[in-house]
């Protein structure tokens, strides 16, 4: 059958005509995209379920809820770079499938324990940490595989579509998790999570990796890790792209943890939940719009200009968001922040992925994702600032700090604006 005939009879033909969904024309990317959709849904349903479970077990202790959810970021710092070495040395598809089976093995026993009322907050803490250990490998290998299932010219679009899944699911999955509690309970939700992880494993079985170029040399793990670090050290632009992603993770994203208090200060107590819901929805919608905007642009030129411009706009918007005293204005500002922040994250990632050789992809991607491990560091900093200055002023100060750092980079290394 000719390629033209294949396209005409494909069940995906209605989306293949749109540049926004160009990466979906690649058979193997569709498998990976669908698998990641199931995985993201399971993760978000699990996160909201776990938070509610711990709150129920501890009579609403904010310390335990924050600790259980936050501890999963710790393994990213502990073993993230080492996981990147494994991603470069072995078959990435098989490694991802193994991590999914481990997730199944973690989720189902915990679901049984919850259903039998044999779980306490310490079990939840261990469960969350084990998930974090597995995800510290799962995330870089899944991200690295994107470059192995699409050609280089389709990478930006593929990364954008990958982010679109996460953003859309982030809007609906928490509500889905809460709704599922009524018919299934806590244990049922964790069983569903395990089932979704098993579905990911089955979806990955027929996937191939036609664009895998090479594997890391079979030397020691320490040598492979040093190779990745030296590669980043020699490439100033790559190092700056990694620094750029860390700045908003510590100073911008951490501000989201203050939204509950910020919303309460904007409106009366009776309208607090409505205000918080509007802020989250606006931020999510902005992120979705930003994602599909980049997906529609595809492999466009002058990515450096949009990348630097977007992150600078995000920091300025955060300052104005912090000093805003009006709910409508705050909703608009946080929506714009979601839009430009998502555009920045996708473009920045595509610039990194386009710049690195495939045999280094796992190591450098895992180092790139360290921003998720350091993100919690900004939370206590903003918390202290909020105590001293007030919540809105603390957010504004974080915006000023982020603006100062990104402005320095944009002026000192002007070549960042010229990246293609």
Residues 344-362 have pLDDT tens digits of: 998 998 899 888 888 888 8
| Tens digit of each residue's pLDDT (9 = 90 or more) over 84-110 | 787 888 888 999 999 999 999 999 999
For the ranges 208-212, 282-286, 378-382, the lowest mean pLDDT is seen at 378-382
In CATH terms, the superfamily for domain 1-212 is: MFS general substrate transporter like domains (1.20.1250.20)
Contacts of 316 (CB under 8 A, 6+ apart): 399, 403
How large a percentage of the chain has pLDDT more than 90? 29
User: Stretch 109-119: mean pLDDT, rounded?
Assistant: 93
- The separation between the first and the last C-alpha atoms of the chain, rounded to the nearest angstrom, is 37
Matching fold, domains 1-212 and 213-420: yes
Confidence (pLDDT) at 108: 94
3-state SS assignment for residue 356: coil
Q: Cα(285)–Cα(250) distance, rounded to whole angstroms? A: 22
pLDDT tens across 239-280, in order? 999 999 988 888 887 777 667 667 777 776 557 667 877 887
Where do the domains of the chain lie?
A: 1-212, 213-420
Spatial distance between the Cα atoms of 342 and 336, rounded to a whole number of angstroms? 10
Residue 63 makes CB contacts below 8 A (sequence gap 6+) with: none
Would you state the structure tokens that stand for residue 243, as one six-digit string?
Answer: 């620094």
Is this model's pTM higher than 0.95 or not? Answer: no
**H helices present in 90-120, as ranges:** 92-115
375-402: per-residue pLDDT in tens? Answer: 666 766 777 787 788 888 888 999 999 9
CATH 3.30.1300.10 is held by the domain 213-420: no
């Amino acid at each position: 059958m000719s390629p033209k005939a294949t396209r005409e009879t494909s069940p995906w033909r209605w989306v293949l005509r749109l540049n926004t969904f160009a990466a979906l024309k690649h058979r193997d990317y569709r498998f990976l995209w669908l698998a990641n959709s199931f995985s993201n849904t399971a993760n978000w349903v699990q996160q909201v379920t776990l938070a509610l479970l711990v709150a129920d077990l501890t009579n609403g202790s904010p310390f335990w809820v924050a600790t259980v959810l936050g501890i999963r970021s710790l393994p990213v710092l502990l073993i993230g770079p080492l996981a990147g070495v494994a991603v470069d040395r072995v078959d990435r598809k098989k490694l991802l499938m193994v991590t999914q089976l481990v997730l199944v093995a973690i989720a189902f026993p915990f679901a049984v324990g919850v259903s039998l009322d044999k779980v306490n907050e310490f079990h939840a803490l261990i469960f969350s940490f084990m998930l974090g250990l597995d995800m510290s490998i799962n995330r870089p290998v899944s991200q690295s595989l994107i470059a192995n299932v699409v050609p280089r010219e389709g990478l930006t679009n593929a990364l954008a579509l990958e982010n679109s899944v996460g953003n859309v699911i982030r809007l609906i999955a928490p509500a889905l998790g809460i709704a599922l509690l009524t018919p299934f309970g806590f244990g049922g939700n964790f069983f569903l999570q395990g089932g979704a992880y098993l579905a990911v494993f089955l979806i990955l079985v027929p996937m191939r990796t036609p664009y895998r170029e090479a594997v890391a040399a079979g030397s020691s793990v320490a040598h492979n890790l040093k190779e990745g670090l030296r590669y980043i050290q020699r490439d100033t632009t790559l190092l700056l792209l990694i620094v750029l992603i860390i700045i908003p993770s510590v100073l911008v994203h951490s501000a989201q943890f203050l939204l509950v208090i910020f919303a309460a200060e904007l409106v009366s107590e009776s309208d607090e939940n409505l205000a918080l819901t509007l802020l989250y929805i606006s931020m999510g919608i902005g992120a979705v719009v930003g994602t599909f905007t980049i997906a529609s642009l595809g492999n466009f030129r002058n990515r450096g200009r949009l990348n630097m411009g977007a992150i600078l706009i995000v920091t300025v918007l955060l300052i104005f968001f912090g000093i805003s005293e009006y709910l409508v204005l705050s909703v608009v500002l946080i929506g714009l922040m979601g839009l430009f922040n998502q555009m920045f994250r996708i473009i920045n990632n595509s610039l990194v992925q386009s710049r690195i050789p495939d045999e280094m992809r796992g190591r450098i991607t895992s180092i790139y994702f360290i921003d998720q491990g350091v993100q919690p560091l900004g939370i206590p900093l903003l918390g202290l600032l909020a105590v001293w200055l007030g919540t809105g002023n603390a957010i504004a100060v974080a915006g000023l700090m982020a603006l100062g750092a990104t402005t320095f980079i944009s002026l000192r290394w002007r070549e960042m604006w010229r990246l293609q």
